[in-house]
Amino acid sequence: MTARPMTVSPPEGISATEWQARIDLAACYRLVAHFGMTDLIYTHITLRVPGSRNEFLINPFGSLFDEVTASGLVRIDVDGKVLWPAGAKVNPAGYIVHSAIHLKADNAHCVLHTHSRAGMAVAAMRDGLLPLNQKGLEFYDRIGYHDYQGLAFDEQERDSLYQDLGPHKAMILRNHGLLTVGADCAEAFSLMYSLEIACRLQVDAMSMARGPQDLVLPDPEVCEHTARQFDGYPDPPVSREWPHLLRLLDRVNPGYDQ
């Protein structure tokens, strides 16, 4: 991630690299709130602790996304055990969904899950995400689907979550919501923003259509061509979008790096 000057020294027990990761993750939480993708205190964004395979950072249960700070994040292991700070509370469903991906996917350093209105609407549709717009074409044949199994409290669901994600960086949890993964917070956020906008546009388009005949879908060859163009985009989100988004936060909701 793009390092930022530290305005607060890391608390005791937190390395400089973990502190930078905390700043990035806190910023990601606040950006999700800013762009209207939250569900009160529910859903989570997690980030692997640098240098660790089995530890990650998560928000304390009960915090709103727009108030998350670097120092307030909780370090837990893949079993949901709180490692720092002592006595912090986390949502069990959060570590079940997220640890399923962190455990097995090497590139899933950041896992972002939402319950947005448009995302849940598309998650309830039999055909899922349709190739109706350029935002959606980024995910053409590049998105997994996971069938609903109830509240994610059962550790046995971990395997199916990972299997259903497959080689992709995005997944629709049917009757539930959306999920993206990234090599860093910037990538996970960028993917979620595009997926969310694609879902909103699909809901809008279908609400105006009198029937399937009113929807214009590009030819499959064009869809695949466009998706490959997205795959080969020259600059990653961490350099393309992230610095500008941090400047936005500094204007509208500073303090995430505290």
CA 25 → CA 162, 173, 211, distances in Å?
22, 22, 42
Q: Tell me, what's the pLDDT at 6?
A: 58
Q: Quote the tokens at residue 91.
A: 């949502």
* E strand residue ranges, the chain: 45-48, 55-58, 74-77, 82-84, 110-114, 144-146, 170-173, 177-182
| Distance (Å, whole) CA 57 – CA 75 | 5
Q: Tell me, what's the pLDDT at 7?
A: 65
Q: Tell me, what's the pLDDT at 244?
A: 97
Q: Are 92 and 79 in contact (CB under 8 A)?
A: no
Which residues make beta-bridge pairs with 146?
A: 173
Sign of CA dihedral 31, 148, 99, 88: positive
DSSP label at residue 113: E
Q: Tell me, what's the pLDDT at 152?
A: 65
Q: Quote the tokens at residue 128.
A: 């899922």
Q: Tell me, what's the pLDDT at 9?
A: 78
As a CATH number, domain 16-252 is 3.40.225.10
Q: Tell me, what's the pLDDT at 11?
A: 84
Q: Tell me, what's the pLDDT at 185?
A: 98
Does 85 sit behind a cis peptide bond, omega within 30 degrees of 0 on the bond before it? yes
Q: Tell me, what's the pLDDT at 240?
A: 94
For residue 72, count other CB atoms closer than 10 A to its CB.
17
Q: Are 28 and 110 in contact (CB under 8 A)?
A: yes
| Distance (Å, whole) CA 117 – CA 37 | 8
Per-residue pLDDT of the chain (258 residues; tens, 9 = 90+): 555 555 677 888 899 999 999 999 999 999 999 999 999 999 999 999 999 988 999 999 999 999 999 999 999 988 889 999 999 999 877 777 888 888 878 889 999 999 999 999 999 999 999 999 999 999 999 999 999 988 766 677 778 898 999 999 999 999 999 999 999 999 999 999 999 999 999 999 999 998 878 899 999 999 999 999 999 999 999 999 999 999 999 999 999 999
Estimate the crossing angle of helix 242-252 against helix 16-34, to 10 degrees: 70
| Distance (Å, whole) CA 258 – CA 71 | 6
Residue spans of the domains in the chain: they are: 16-252
